[in-house]
């Protein structure tokens, strides 16, 4: 009976976000009366730096600028106010909005462009994410970077299969520069869809991508959706050479050994595994790592919960290596920092400048002005070094940062490695999986993707398909 019914169920996929931008992927898959939206983040788009809003009614602005998917069942009605179907159909230039009775959400990992909508979701909405990803989210909230969520978070493990009734999802952990990053395969009544999430080959767990490929091959994936962040004219014919993830903290230690001055380190705190490596390398260099309160809370809260850090050396040494610097009032974020019993000894700016060779300062971008005091006071006989390892700003050419470093004679070392695959690696993944159609997104240049002869399709915002229609397309690659 169920088999006969399954052939009558329409599998539909609608593409909203992340199609010609890096991040902000918003896709709705539905089958019968059940659907899932993936992911739940935002690209920068209309909001950056001083032009920003919080989730308290900010979701209205996100929806009206097409930075959030127009699926009203996702959001807290109290935050929507009078924004409804009439306004959103006008904004998206479509006839009607999708309506799914049994709606779910999915968050592949805790980077802003994949999770920023979490505080705006309605109470009780089922949202699936890896338990390590959720541990990072709880830490980010504790650190005051984001608000919590009213959604019903449902934790998943690598390899877990969840039955949604009309379809099943097989969750598969991949390798990226944040813990718990998860892609999946949707097993529908007639079709198989794979979503890679963000991934790379130069991380510490490249083998996960081979598992992902092999599983896609074995179930016969027909539609592959893959990120393409690094598809650019300059990478089209020449594969970039990537620094291995395990080398980043080693480069930080080398900087600490190369000078008797201060060393500043800028790492995105959500890359908790890299922070753990940094703590160990700082101890090896004979220094202590100075953290502000927000960063220390994020590290402490995440590291105490992450399964991926079980047995890591940093968990044994961090109390002795980390020193706590009180966050200046002007540098505090929009949300209160959770009161956490931190086991780290406090330190002042004067203590740091009195013995610069003894410390490395974990300096996040908003705290850049501290360089003025840290460089002006104390000995200046040895140059300080600033190691920029994928922390914000995500570019080596940020005018403001470079002006601060130049003003005070601080050496700049760009030590990024990033979390995204080279275009040639995406081609290889696609040809090995050999789907009927591949959709590249999470990219400024998706049309440049060399799909290796596999049919590819670049959807327009709001474009919707029955799965049989999309996988049956004969699309030029």
> Is 170:161 a contact under the CB 8 Å cutoff?
yes
Q: How many CB atoms lie within 10 A of CB 216?
A: 25
Beta bridge mates, 313: none
State the Cα–Cα distance between residues 345 and 324, nearest whole angstrom: 6
The two structure tokens encoding residue 281: 């390398």
> Is 455:473 a contact under the CB 8 Å cutoff?
yes
Q: What is the pLDDT of residue 394?
A: 83
State the Cα–Cα distance between residues 196 and 212, nearest whole angstrom: 8
Which strands make up the sheet holding 322-325, listed edge to edge? 345-347, 322-325, 288-292, 359-362, 263-267, 385-389, 411-414
3-class state of residue 3 by DSSP: helix
Contacts of 274 by beta carbon, 8 Å cutoff, 6+ apart: 177, 245, 248, 249, 267, 268, 389, 390
Q: What is the pLDDT of residue 49?
A: 62
In terms of DSSP H, where are the helices of 307-418?
314-321, 349-354, 370-376, 399-407
Q: What is the pLDDT of residue 235?
A: 82
Q: What is the pLDDT of residue 334?
A: 72
State the Cα–Cα distance between residues 117 and 58, nearest whole angstrom: 10
| Whole-number Cα distances in Å, 171 to 177, 409, 442 | 18, 49, 20
Which one, of 412, 410, 408, 415, lies nearest residue 390 by Cα? 415
State the Cα–Cα distance between residues 165 and 187, nearest whole angstrom: 11
Q: Which domains does the chain have, with CATH numbers?
A: 2-235+420-471 (3.60.15.10), 245-414 (3.40.50.10710)
> Is 92:66 a contact under the CB 8 Å cutoff?
yes
In terms of DSSP H, where are the helices of 240-292?
245-258, 272-284
Q: What is the pLDDT of residue 4?
A: 44
3-class state of residue 400 by DSSP: helix
Q: What is the pLDDT of residue 466?
A: 94
State the Cα–Cα distance between residues 79 and 182, nearest whole angstrom: 29
> In tens digits, what is the pLDDT along the chain, a chain of 477 residues?
343 444 468 999 999 999 999 999 999 999 999 999 999 998 877 766 666 677 666 899 999 999 999 999 999 999 999 999 999 999 999 988 999 999 999 999 999 999 999 999 999 999 999 999 999 999 999 999 989 999 999 999 999 999 999 999 999 999 999 999 999 999 999 999 999 999 999 999 999 999 999 999 999 999 999 999 999 888 878 888 899 999 999 999 999 999 999 999 999 999 999 999 999 999 999 999 999 999 999 999 999 999 999 999 999 888 889 999 987 776 666 788 999 999 999 999 999 999 999 999 999 999 999 999 999 999 999 999 999 999 999 889 999 999 999 999 999 999 999 899 999 999 999 999 999 999 999 999 999 999 999 999 999 999 999 999 998 865 554
3-class state of residue 226 by DSSP: strand
Taking the whole predicted model, whether its pTM rises above 0.85 is answered as yes
Q: What is the pLDDT of residue 477?
A: 46
Return the ∠ at Cα 120 (arms to 114 and 124), rounded to 5°.
100
């Amino acid at each position: 009976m169920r088999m006969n019914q399954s052939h009558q169920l329409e599998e539909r996929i609608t593409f909203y976000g992340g199609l010609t931008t890096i991040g902000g992927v918003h896709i709705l898959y539905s089958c019968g009366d059940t659907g899932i939206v993936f992911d739940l983040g935002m690209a920068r788009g209309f909001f950056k730096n001083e032009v920003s809003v919080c989730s308290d009614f900010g979701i209205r602005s996100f929806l009206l600028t097409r930075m959030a998917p127009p699926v009203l069942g996702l959001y807290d009605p109290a935050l929507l106010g009078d924004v409804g179907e009439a306004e959103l159909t006008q904004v998206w230039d479509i006839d009607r909005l999708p309506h799914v009775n049994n709606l779910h959400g999915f968050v592949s990992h805790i980077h802003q462009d994949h999770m920023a909508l979490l505080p705006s979701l309605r109470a009780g909405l089922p949202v699936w994410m890896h338990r390590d990803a959720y541990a990072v989210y709880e830490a980010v909230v504790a650190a005051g970077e984001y608000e919590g969520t009213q959604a019903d978070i449902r934790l998943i493990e690598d390899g877990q299969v969840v039955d949604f009734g009309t379809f099943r999802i097989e969750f598969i952990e991949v390798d990226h520069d944040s813990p718990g990053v998860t892609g999946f395969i949707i097993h529908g009544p007639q079709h198989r869809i794979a979503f890679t999430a963000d991934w790379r080959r130069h991380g510490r767990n490249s083998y996960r991508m081979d598992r992902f490929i092999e599983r896609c091959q074995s179930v016969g994936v027909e539609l592959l959706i893959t990120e393409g962040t690094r598809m650019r004219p300059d990478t089209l014919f020449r594969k970039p050479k990537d620094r291995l993830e395990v080398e980043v903290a080693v480069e930080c230690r080398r900087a600490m050994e190369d000078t008797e001055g201060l060393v500043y380190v800028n790492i995105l705190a959500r890359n908790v595994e890299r922070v753990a490596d940094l703590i160990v390398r700082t101890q090896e260099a004979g220094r202590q790592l100075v953290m502000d309160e927000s960063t220390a809370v994020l590290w402490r809260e995440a590291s105490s919960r992450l399964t991926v850090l079980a047995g890591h050396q940093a968990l044994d040494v961090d109390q002795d290596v980390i020193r706590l610097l009180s966050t200046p009032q002007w540098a505090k974020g929009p949300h209160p920092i959770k009161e956490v019993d931190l086991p780290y000894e406090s330190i002042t700016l004067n203590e740091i400048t009195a013995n610069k060779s003894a410390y490395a300062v974990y300096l996040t971008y908003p705290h850049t002005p501290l360089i003025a005091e840290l460089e002006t006071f104390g000995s200046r006989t040895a140059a300080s070094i600033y190691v920029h390892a994928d922390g914000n700003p995500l570019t080596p050419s940020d005018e403001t940062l470079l002006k601060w470093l130049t003003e005070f004679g601080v050496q700049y070392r760009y030590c990024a490695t990033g979390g995204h695959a080279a275009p040639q690696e995406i081609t290889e993944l696609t040809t090995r999986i050999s789907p009927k159609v591949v959709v590249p997104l999470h990219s400024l240049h998706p049309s440049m993707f060399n799909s290796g002869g596999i049919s590819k399709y670049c959807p327009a915002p709001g474009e919707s398909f029955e799965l049989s229609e999309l996988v049956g397309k004969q699309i030029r690659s």
